[in-house]
Amino acid sequence: MRRNLRSSHTRGPPVWGFPHREKPRLRHLVIGLTVSAFSYAVLWLKFRELLTEAIRRLLYVGQISASKSLSSEAPLLVIRLTDGSNLNLALTWQRCGLISMTIFGLLFLFLLFPLDGSIWSKIAWLELGFIIGSTWSFIRLSIAVLIAYHFGAGALAVTEFLTGPFTDFLWALSVWSLGLSTLASAKHRRVS
């Protein structure tokens, strides 16, 4: 901005400029589609089972009795609460953060991949987003389960409401912003 200002200080005839436009990198988009399709396949097939097992082990470390089970809809985590009752926690797509990760992937794919920049950088940021999303889902679900263990099933609903999809978008947007800034920085370096 300051550079713009200085240049506008100079005397002389008006400088008529064109707003900068790009040509969409369709090949990058196709590569991104392929990579994200592969990532989604892995996530949607394996992630819920992995997450269920990881949380079960975490609870085991904390000496909380929990077991895995399968329902027709989703993997179930059966947790013995402090009052002696059982809590059946179905790890649905949403509860596991998979829907949020899908939205993140779509946003990333259609907003970042067509831009100028290294395809490897874009793929790296996309995958980093999936890793952060998966980690956050594990943390969020662990917190929810621990709160449910100590305060009951009602507290689980409140926790899920407060830390649900809304907080998912904090990481999604942060990763997206950082990815975009990286692309802009790389472009700036090339230009200068």
Partner 1 sequence: MALILYVTFVLIVAIMLFYLVRHYVFSLTALYRQKGQPNYTLHALSYRPTVSILIPARNEEAVVGALLQRITELTYPKDKLEVIVIDDASTDNTGRIAEGFAQSYNYFKVVHRGLNDGGKGKSAVLNDGLKQAKGEMTICFDADYYPQIDVLEKLTAYFVDPEVGVVQGRVTVLNERATWVSRLVALERIAGYRVDQLARDDLGLIPQFGGTMGGFRRDIIEFLGGFDTRMLTEDTDLTFRVYLAGYKIRYVNDAECYEEAVEDWRAYWRQRHRWAKGHMQCFFRHLIPLLRSGNLRLREKLDGLLLLNVYFVPILVGLSWLLGAIIFFLFPTTWFEPIWTLLPVFVYSSVGNFAVFFEVGVGTYLDKRMRIGWLIPLLLFSYVLNTLICIKALLDLAFSKIVGSNEHNWAKTNHSGGEIECF
- φ and ψ of 35, to 5 deg: -65, -45
In DSSP notation, 106-147 reads HHHHHHHTTSSS-HHHHHHHHHHHHHHHHHHHHHHHHHHHHH
Q: Which stretch binds partner 1 (CB under 8 A): 36-44, 46-54, 78-86, 166-174?
A: 166-174
State yes or no: residue 111 binds partner 1 (CB under 8 A). yes
State yes or no: residue 190 binds partner 1 (CB under 8 A). no
C-beta of 96 vs 146, nearer to partner 1: 96
Grouping H, G, I as helix, E, B as strand and the rest as coil, residue 57 is helix
Size of site (CB under 8 A) for partner 1: 51
For residue 53, give the nearest of 75, 74, 71, 72 by alpha carbon.
Answer: 75
In the range 68-107, which residues lie near partner 1 by CB under 8 A?
A: 92-94, 99-100, 103, 107
User: What string marks each residue from 15 to 34 as x (binds partner 1 by CB under 8 A) or -?
Assistant: xxxxxxxxxx----------
Q: What is the distance between the alpha carbons of residues 167 and 121, in angstroms, rounded to a whole number?
A: 25
- Answer whether 68's CB lies under 8 Å from 52's CB: yes
In the range 132-161, which residues lie near partner 1 by CB under 8 A?
A: 157, 161
Grouping H, G, I as helix, E, B as strand and the rest as coil, residue 19 is coil
| Chain residues in the site for partner 1 (CB under 8 A) | 1, 4-5, 8-9, 11-24, 92-94, 99-100, 103, 107, 110-111, 114-115, 157, 161, 164-166, 168-170, 173-174, 176-178, 180-181, 183-185, 187-188, 191
